[in-house]
Amino acid sequence: MKIANILLVDDHPMLRKGVAQLISLEDNLNVVGEVNSGDEAIMFAINNTPDLILLDLNMKGLSGIETLSALKRANTCAKVVIFSVSDNETDVLQALKFNADGYLLKDSEPEELIEKINHAIAGEFVISEPLTQILAKSLRPQVKTNIMQSLTQRELENLKLIASGKSNKEIARKLGITEATVKVHNKNLFKKLGLKSRVEAAMWAVEHKIS
């Protein structure tokens, strides 16, 4: 079993310790470091290559967004997930603009947090459920309705399953196809709808009542 290494970045020691203790209960997850600033996070990520960075949004010194931007510019291989108390629309969309791999709220249930961390490590975009409505209001691609007619039956099935929160692996199992084939369908689907990610596809489906 591959163990994923996680870096916690937060200027509140008690919160870091609590999250670290929760993660330590999982056999496949390991907290490889805890730092309290963006500068420390960047140096640690470059020198230690964690698999995932759980990054606070509001910190002294470099903000979470500034740290996120620097980490992406440094081409670190780590997934970077914002971990914040803020459910502000501007904060969420700013994180997406700078290519965050997810946005989770600090009041998430422990089980949900661990589940989302595992999904993020697997390469999926993750977001706390209460934030999906913010995205639904903000991510409104102006797509002509006749584009729907260009979708194949399989692409439409993929879209519905993405909207229901299914991972690529779960979609493959549900449709009886390979995960690689699912990714091909998703790529075609995103191109036709003018979207960039699974989360935008899910929000598009919500907006257009595709279920």
Model confidence at 142: pLDDT above 50: no
Q: Are 178 and 166 in contact (CB under 8 A)?
A: no
The per-residue pLDDT for range 30-66, each reduced to its tens digit, is: 999 999 999 999 999 999 989 999 999 999 889 999 9
Per CATH, the architecture of 4-129 is what? Answer: 3-Layer(aba) Sandwich (3.40)
What value does the mean pLDDT take over residues 71-99? 90
Model confidence at 181: pLDDT above 70: yes
CATH topology of domain 139-207: Arc Repressor Mutant, subunit A (1.10.10)
pTM of the predicted model, to two decimals? 0.66
Residue recorded with tokens 């291989």? 77
Residue-level pLDDT at 180: 92
Helix (H) or strand (E) holding 5: strand 4-9
Q: Structural domain boundaries of the chain?
A: 4-129, 139-207
Model confidence at 143: pLDDT above 60: no
Task: Looking at 25-176, list the stretches that DSSP marks H as alpha helix, in order from N- to C-terminal side.
Answer: 38-48, 64-73, 89-97, 110-121, 132-138, 153-163, 168-175
Beta bridge partners of 8: 34, 54
The per-residue pLDDT for range 113-125, each reduced to its tens digit, is: 999 999 999 989 8
